[in-house]
Amino acid sequence: MLRNETEARRTFIAAWCAVLAVKCVLATHLPLFVDEAFYWQEGMHPAWAYSDLPGLTAWLTRIGVTLFGRDALGLRIPFLLLAAAVPWLVARVTAREFGATAGWQAAVFALLLPLAGTLGLLAVPDAAMAVATLLCMDACARLLRNVSAGAAVELAAGLALGAFSHYRFIAVIAVGFLVLLLMPEGRRALRDPRMWIAIAFGAAAWTPLVAWNMDNAEAGLRFQLVDRHPWAFHIDGIQFLLVQSLLVTPLLLLAMAVAAWRFGRDPRPAPRFFALLGGLVVLGFFALGFFADTERVSFHWPLQGFIALLPLLPSLLDRWPRWLRFATGMLAAVGLVLMLGYYAAVSMPRLRETTATTRWYPGNFAGWQKLATQTRRLLHGMPKGTRIVADDFKIGAELGFALGNPRIAVLPHPLNRKHGRAPQLGLWGLREEQVDRSRHPVLLVVGASEVQLRELPARYHELCERVGPLPAPRTISIDHGRQRFLLFALPRLKKAGPGKGDCTTPSIAWIQQPSINDKVGRRFGVHGWAFKDGIGLRAIWVTVDGRRVARAEYGLPSIGPKMIWPFSNDPQHPNIGYRAQVDLEDMLKGRHWLGLWLIGRDGSVEPWSEVPIDLE
């Protein structure tokens, strides 16, 4: 530990400047995450509250793009500034209770804690919640000593900031209030009217969110508290604990656990308050992990609890052997570097595509810039006044940000409900049940990789019901097809409603052999099935690394797909199987990507997702 105040301050300032510089560079190049794009869209529709969040995050995105430009960095600057304030607030809170040297030491750990050190890289609510938590902590530490008007105002500001940030801040409020009731000093403070004025001010800040839910059948509350959670015990909660140990780093997590235990019985009120607040918030979210949502991102939930424990670390670590203190700091630094490195890798297409076949593939970051470029090109060749319609809220928000259009209509999609965005799209009048092509041509943008293969044919037929037969698409394949978008140029119709005719859909295929990561020789066979509802396929080419290497024999019997999807109307059923012999004598050994080009009878050429193979 840094025992000298001057040394500790200089170390912190140097580290703070370095981390902030790295985050600014990453924030410039990191593709927009889908939630960031939707928060921007909310910011372009100003309101006090929205279906998924209170208003603050959307307001900050609006301020960012207005003052600094409509790009990734401009959007994120307000969040980077809030995150940059977090270590300074930690230093202030800690210094009051443990001295200036401890304050700077705790501020260093606020930078090294990976979850806190990466705050602000994304335009999401966590940076504002971290600031709100620290304001409330600082105010309560002062109020536990002596109630004053200044401390009450600070508490009111922290409570209001948290209320405008996220539903999840309720956990900090509930645990903080419980801890105050458990402590004699807290009960004394609660007898003062100024304390209740601050609490009342903080409670009033929830009014817009409560009003929104009352006006919209509690849609936001139901999503946050009911719809997104199974509320049944599942063993996946163990994974949540393991992820936390990696993201916080094991030794730092151990130090925080020990600090919460030891200082929870400290005679001094402020350290005891920090320990109980942080420990109970973290334990609460750890327990929640066994019952709550595991499909969406949740690793950041306990962050406010860890922040509450930061002021206790210097005093605890002073009692540890020097080697263990050093190991704790170094392991935390490695964790921070790895997390920043992850965001750097996501920013680089060549590195990102290496994860294309893994569960760690960052799909919510991938492909949006290429999609926007291709959309602009296709729009340029379509009649003036062509309207964009997106398949789901992700595409609508990301394309909206890239094109500067927050009014892109969105079709009903399971993703809109899954992420709690369907009610908000309805309020904006952007939820398009059936595409009207009687006034303008339409460019329909579909995310083919957002639906599992088993559900994909049904989704395509649902699109037919809404827009009519689908013409030959322009396929955009990113990262070997892990992310696929289909663009359909739909001409204007004389009458309202979908176009007439049998449902024609994009092609669907499956490579049965070889499988993912199979080792193959220079000559090997490829077989599987493929179909295109409405008109059928004319030919299939096998590709390796995007180059055609063999024309497949098509039309072999394959009854499985018709049994799985009895509504499929490809006229060639059941003869939709294919096989080919591939000769790769001229290729180097190692990793290659095997794919298909599906040639429709309408002349469409649709690349299918590639699978990795190892050439021996």
Closest by CA to 170, choosing from 139, 125, 212, is 125
Letter string b/e over residues 539-577, b meaning 16 or more CB atoms within 10 A of that residue's CB = ebbbbbeeeebbebebeeebeebbeebeebbbeebbbbb
Closest by CA to 444, choosing from 411, 484, 403, 419, is 411
Q: Mean of the pLDDT values across residues 143-158?
A: 95
User: Could you tell me the pLDDT band of residue 2, with boundaries at 50, 70 and 90?
Assistant: low
In the three-class reduction of DSSP (H, G, I as helix; E, B as strand; rest coil), residue 439 is classed as coil
Q: Which residue has the tokens 């600090």?
A: 259
**Residue 172: predicted pLDDT:** 95
Q: Who wins on pLDDT, 291 or 251? A: 251
CB 354 within 8 A of CB 517: no
User: Could you tell me the pLDDT band of residue 297, with boundaries at 50, 70 and 90?
Assistant: low
**Residue 485: predicted pLDDT:** 95
In the three-class reduction of DSSP (H, G, I as helix; E, B as strand; rest coil), residue 547 is classed as strand
**Residue 483: predicted pLDDT:** 92
Cβ contacts of 556 within 8 Å, gap of 6 or more: 575, 576, 577, 578, 579
**Residue 298: predicted pLDDT:** 72
Q: Residue 386 pLDDT more than 70?
A: yes
CB 130 within 8 A of CB 138: no
Segment among 56-65, 124-133, 376-385, 430-439 with least mean pLDDT = 430-439
User: pLDDT for 491-520, tens place per residue?
Assistant: 988 877 677 778 899 999 999 999 988 999
- DSSP calls for 84-95: HHHHHHHHHHHH
Segment among 222-236, 456-470, 472-486 with least mean pLDDT = 222-236
User: Could you tell me the pLDDT band of residue 585, with boundaries at 50, 70 and 90?
Assistant: confident
Cβ contacts of 214 within 8 Å, gap of 6 or more: none
**Residue 226: predicted pLDDT:** 78
Question: CB 67: neighbour CB atoms within 10 A?
Answer: 10
Q: What is the DSSP letter of 447?
A: E
User: Could you tell me the pLDDT band of residue 391, with boundaries at 50, 70 and 90?
Assistant: very high
- State both tokens at 78: 């307000």
Q: Who wins on pLDDT, 290 or 44? A: 44
Give me the long-range contacts of 525-528 (CB less than 8 A, separation at least 24). Answer: 525/579, 525/580, 525/581, 525/582, 526/550, 526/552, 526/579, 526/580, 526/581, 526/582, 526/594, 527/577, 527/578, 527/579, 527/580, 528/577, 528/578
User: Could you tell me the pLDDT band of residue 240, with boundaries at 50, 70 and 90?
Assistant: confident
100-112 vs 322-346: helix crossing angle, rounded to 10: 40
| Average pLDDT taken over every residue of the chain | 92
In the three-class reduction of DSSP (H, G, I as helix; E, B as strand; rest coil), residue 327 is classed as helix
- State both tokens at 305: 């609890």
β-strand pairing of 409-410 with 387-390: parallel
Q: Say whether pTM exceeds 0.85.
A: yes
CB 155 within 8 A of CB 138: no
Helix spans in 30-168 (H): 34-43, 56-68, 72-98, 100-112, 114-117, 126-145, 149-163
In the three-class reduction of DSSP (H, G, I as helix; E, B as strand; rest coil), residue 504 is classed as coil
Q: Residue 416 pLDDT more than 70?
A: yes
**Residue 4: predicted pLDDT:** 81
CA dihedral sign of residues 80, 82, 70, 428: positive
**Residue 439: predicted pLDDT:** 86
CA distances to 85, 528, 573 from 563, rounded to whole Å, are: 59, 16, 11
Share of the chain above pLDDT 70, in %: 99
Q: Residue 295 pLDDT more than 70?
A: no
Q: Mean of the pLDDT values across residues 426-432?
A: 93
Q: Residue 59 pLDDT more than 90?
A: yes
237-248 vs 250-263: helix crossing angle, rounded to 10: 100
Closest by CA to 111, choosing from 20, 30, 29, 27, is 20
